[in-house]
Structure 1
Amino acid sequence: MKRYWKDFARPALFVLAGIATVTGVRAEDARLVQGDDPYYKQADGALNQILKRQKNTNRAKNVILVVGDGMGFSTVTAARIFEGQQRGVDGESNVLAWEAFPYLAASKTYSADAQITDSAPSAVAMTTGVKTINDLMGLNHTARLDSCEDQKTKAVTTLWEMAETLGMSTGAITTARLTHATPGATYSHIANRDWESDADMPAEAVSAGCADIAQQLVDMRYGNGLEVAMGGGRDRFLPATAADPEYADKKGKRKDGKDLTQAWLSRYGDKGAFVWNAEQFKAIDPAKTDHLLGLFEPSHMQYEHDRPGDKAGEPSLAEMAEKSIDMLSRNTEGYVLLVEGGRIDHASHESNAYRTLSDAVAMNQAVKAILRKVDLDETLIVVTGDHSHTLTIAGYAKRGNPILGISVGVDDEPIYGKDGKTYTTIGFANGPGGSEKPSERPMLTSEETTKPDFVQHSLVPLSSETHGGEDLGIYAIGPWAHLFQGTVEENYTFHVMNYASGIGERLQKK
């Protein structure tokens, strides 16, 4: 191969010399006038690094799927700039941890029944290898929404369940509720993603014996269940008669009287643990704990920006990832772990770009922590989103302009719309920032638009901003990561993880 490139290059130089002779330009001048240009050098260096790549075809002992909920390409770009600017470096040329991964594919995220997916079928695609309809989890595309019968008969198997059957360790951590769509898709099979507790289910489904998502987590019968499960959603595990341990004015939601945190402890005995605050989390010894349940809020965990103000304290996504790997890596058979930056999505639904990007930066810290912990010779890491949002980066702002600021041109003057008013670089196509009277939109300043609570303007007024339907990125490193190339279906992600780890093949031989 090396000889081929050398042989190819020689005639190219002769052709270049010939052109130079014809045009009267010396060949040595025509070759690399821009050779000292910093942009040229950067790209040339990138090419040389890619030429040195060697495919890793080891079996992936461990698989880590990192999902930025709602993290499309535009959110990644904005987060890259935001993170760099926060650190006082050039944001535009900044590189997030997963952007340095060697392999990248584009994911088509439509669901079995919709152009634009919700988080449930997109998570199912990645955890089971099939597409299903919106609002279903762990069921195939022929299942009907709200059908308890189909919940019992049309389940599909997740990679986490397959791994447990082989004696591997498994985990799911998130900043959303642990019973939410993405983490729930690793262990549950449900006819409606909103059935997070029995209180969320219709009476006929409960009486027919269909279990809610929280119950399915505690009762998971593949192997010995998840070794690590952390996030929010505490009220889905506590009875309606029980006071929340953190907030005196809140109680659990369950109508069946069950305390599933105690059910977890009863199942795992001395090797099991339940924690709900930062102090308890830090006290967990990974070497002595086999099964850890962490529920740090009644609903979703705090946004990263707000987390330092939480009275009881919450671990960061990076801290949860580190603790999880320390626990799971004790198993010589390997592990499968989901890490979700769940609240990237929620902030975009609120058209609050500051918290969208802050939580994306927190996920970047989690990926860095993961990279410090694992051996890439035996660990496949896949970083992706589940769907996009309507976040846009537009206008003609100068290099280095605050990504959350108003659009300012290269002449350092604000750029105005036809109505004579300023606008922000980041906007949303729809959402709560939309006005029913667009002509009355206010004049904006960067001082107000860069504040954490600022709601970006939207074209179409909605109470909640919607998902976006465009493709998003799958970034991969480790064994068989090179299989992520081109434009693929979202459920392809499962197939690469399954193939790289050999989980499916080993199950067939069992």
Structure 2
Amino acid sequence: MNKLLTLSLLASLTATTAIAQDIPQSDNQWFIDGQAQIAARLATQQNTNRAKNIIVLIADGNGVGTNYATRLYQGQKKGNYGDEEILPQEAFPNLALVKTYNTNGQTPDSAGTGTAIMSGVKTKAGVIGVNENVNRGDCATVPGNEVATMNEIMAAMGKATGVVSTARITHATPATSYASSADRNWEESVPEGCTTQVDIAQQLVEAIKNGTVDVAMGGGRRNFIGTDVTDEEGKTGRRADGVNLIEALKAEGVQYAWGDESFGALNLDGSKPILGLFESSHMQYEADREGEPSLAEMSSAAIKSLQAAGGDNGFFLQIEAGRVDHANHDGNLARAVEDGVAFAETVAMVDALTDDEDTLIIVTADHEHAIAFNGYCGRGSNILGLCMDIDNAGEKNTGTPLLAEDGKPFTVAGYLNGGGSVMREELNWAGVRGDLTEEQATDGDYMQQALIPTGAGEETHSGEDVAVYAKGPYAHLFDGTIEQNVIFHAMNYAANAQ
């Protein structure tokens, strides 16, 4: 068939598979798979039920690039090339791109982005649960500028609510579920003379007492006990006021868990609130996890308890994979993608435990990192390893590393800045790269090479868009490119739809 005839056929195609079969590539598997995807999309119906339950899952720092790395990593762990893998959230029928900037920052921080998702307004970097009129670090600007959180709004509707994180439960993103603060760092104390707010840990305690939060699980035990108190794992607290907030909640009948055993003993019948604090600071990376529940296990327990507590009114739950962000900051892609896979497993578990008919599930990130990917790597190059050459006669890479102009190999992934910078003072800022083997690059502790050196060697966020994936009631509201605060408005509409 000549090219002109082929173009003529393509121009006259309709949506029917029968006509599509008349073109020369119709028996190609890529073509067949494409047709199947179109058929599936045509069969998709909009769900306009009221959302009884809403679950928002946030993988901190898991932008489109980090998500791509996780996809390849998960697929390669299965023995495949990696790029054909589909993460659970990527199978959701609705998605959009999300603009993540803060009102005073082209590159955002998690306090401002979390507030946008949980309260429906964009705000400044570093502040929690307040609008853009608050100046970071200035207590006096807080009164009158507080915003209601999704947990507060859903609790007022009679729903049970919760928050789960692998970071400190008082850290920026989870704190946007229940707190208002002029500074995200005021987790266990506020500056002397600040009388307009209490610290974030105290705000969580009050939220649990007043029924705004029914389940809270994560790390951050140190922020709930005094400096003279030693916790179950032998670490002292940080509260200078000496108040033991854990004991105060236990006295109110709140269930408390700090490790695997006490977590397994929790009563999930919804009759009592739950506080789980599984580390003094952040919880362990998934690659190192020992003696504490996984993100999926915490989320499963939270859903079961909230389902029981909320009854016919339903529930709202924020789930954060906080340590994807921390591994990226460390330039340690191996741990970032391992936690990314744990997040994907949590998404799949949440989907399995709920019903699409009455549960809106939203999967997103608060921001991306300065991660970057090199070319031109042959297919199947280890996402953690060296960029291998393309095999022009086949599919899989040749197994021979590509070399840069300096005669040295380079990894598939790297960072634009961070502790792995080749532009370091001890190298006289010369940009000298060392030799690197596949074995070294794929070690779990390897710090990816980076370009720009940053303060304290910590890689930064980036300002690029992230994705949001959704399924369930009114998931079709996620479409196109949206401002981050629109996520809140879609959730709120779905919960109140007539």
Matches of residues 307-318 of structure 1 in structure 2 within 5 Å? 307=289, 310=290, 313-318=291-296
Name the residue aligned to 2:81.
90
State how far apart, in whole Å, the 1-side matches of 2:333 and 2:138 are: 37
Per the alignment, residue 501 of structure 1 pairs with 495
Match for 2:352 among 361, 364, 372? 372
Contact 1:173 1:229 in 2 (8 A): yes
1:429 aligns with 416
Partners of 2:192 and 2:296 lie apart in 1 by: 39
CA distance in 2, matches of 1:426, 1:101: 27
1:36 to 19, 27, 38: 27
The partner residue of 1:131 within 107, 122, 141 is 122
Q: What is the CA–CA distance in structure 2 between the aligned matches of 1:58 and 1:222, rounded to whole Å?
A: 32
**Gaps in structure 1 of 5+ consecutive residues:** 1-11, 20-27
Q: Does the CA-based 8 Å contact 1:129-1:495 persist in structure 2? A: yes
Provide the rounded CA distance (Å) in 1 between the counterparts of 2:223 and 2:307: 29
**Is 1:489 aligned to 2:487, yes or no?**
no
Following superposition, the deviation at residue 222 of structure 1 comes to 8.8
More moved, 56-65 vs 39-48: 39-48
Equivalent residue number for residue 191 of structure 2:
202
Deviation of 1:151 (Å): 2.4
CA contact (8 A) 2:270 2:306 kept: no
Q: Are the structure 2 counterparts of residues 195 and 17 from structure 1 closer, same or farther at C-alpha, using a change threshold of 3 Å?
A: closer
Match status 1:142 vs 2:133: yes
Correspondence 1:212 to 2:196: no
Please state if 1:189 is matched with 2:180.
yes
Count residues in correspondence. Answer: 472
Q: CA separation in 2, counterparts of 1:441 and 1:335?
A: 52
Code of the aligned partner of 2:192: A
What is the CA distance between 1:292 and its match in structure 2?
Answer: 0.5
State the alpha-carbon separation in 1 of the partners of residues 303 and 357 from structure 2. 16
Q: CA deviation at 1:288?
A: 5.7
Tell me the equivalent position of 2:394.
Answer: none
Question: Is this contact kept in 2: 1:161–1:222, CA < 8 A?
Answer: no
- For residues 364 and 44 of structure 1, do their structure 2 counterparts lie closer, same or farther at Cα, with a shift above 3 Å needed? same
Q: Does 1:478 align with 2:478?
A: no
Corresponding residue for residue 213 of structure 2: 226
Matched, 1:451 2:443: yes
* Counterpart check, 1:383 vs 2:363: yes
Q: Does 1:251 find its partner at 2:224?
A: no
1:89 Cα deviation after fit: 2.7
Identity %: 40
Distance of aligned partners of 1:221 and 1:148 in 2 relative to their CA distance in 1, 3 Å threshold: farther
Q: How does 1:346-357 map to 2 (within 5 A)?
A: 346-357=326-337
Q: Distance in 2 between matches of 1:29 and 1:145?
A: 59
Per-residue CA deviations over 1:149-172 (Å, capped at 9, x if unaligned) read 222331000111011112210000
Matches of 1:97 and 1:233 in 2, distance apart? Answer: 29
- Structure 1 position 420 matched with structure 2 position 407: yes
TM superposition shift of 1:115: 0.3
The letter for the 1-side match of 2:343 is: M
Q: Are the equivalent residues in 1 in contact too, given 2:9–2:23 (CA < 8 A)?
A: no
From the superposition, tell whether residues 242 and 17 of structure 1 become closer, same or farther in structure 2 (CA, over 3 Å). Answer: closer
1:56-85 CA distance string (max 9 Å, x none): 000000000000100110111110010111
Query: For 1:322-333, what aligned pairs fall within 5 Å after superposition?
Result: 322-330=300-308, 331=310, 332-333=312-313
SS in structure 2 opposite 1:35? Answer: helix
TM-score (norm 1): 0.89
Change over 3 Å in CA distance of 1:29–1:261 after alignment to 2: closer
Determine the structure 2 residue equivalent to 1:16.
9
Paired letter, 2:112: P
Deviation for aligned residue 1:181: 0.6
Asked if the contact 1:164/1:222 (under 8 Å) is kept, the reply is: no
1:250-287: CA deviation from partner (whole Å, max 9, x where unpaired): 200001111111122223x2xx2011001110111211
Residues 121 and 131, structure 2, Cα contact 8 Å, conserved in 1: yes
Quick one: which of 51, 64, 67 aligns to 1:73? 64
Shift of 1:220: 1.9
Give 2:278's aligned residue: 296
Q: How far, CA to CA, are the matches of 2:208 and 2:10 in structure 1?
A: 71
Q: Are positions 1:306 and 2:300 aligned together?
A: no
Q: 1:43-82, aligned counterparts within 5 Å?
A: 43-82=34-73
Shift of 1:14: 12
Query: CA separation of 1:336/1:395 partners in 2, compared to 1, >3 Å: closer, same or farther?
Result: same
Moved more, 388-397 or 168-177: 388-397
Q: 1:396 is matched by which residue type in structure 2?
A: Y
In the alignment, the residues of structure 2 paired with residue 492 and residue 29 of structure 1 have an alpha-carbon distance, to the nearest angstrom, of 39
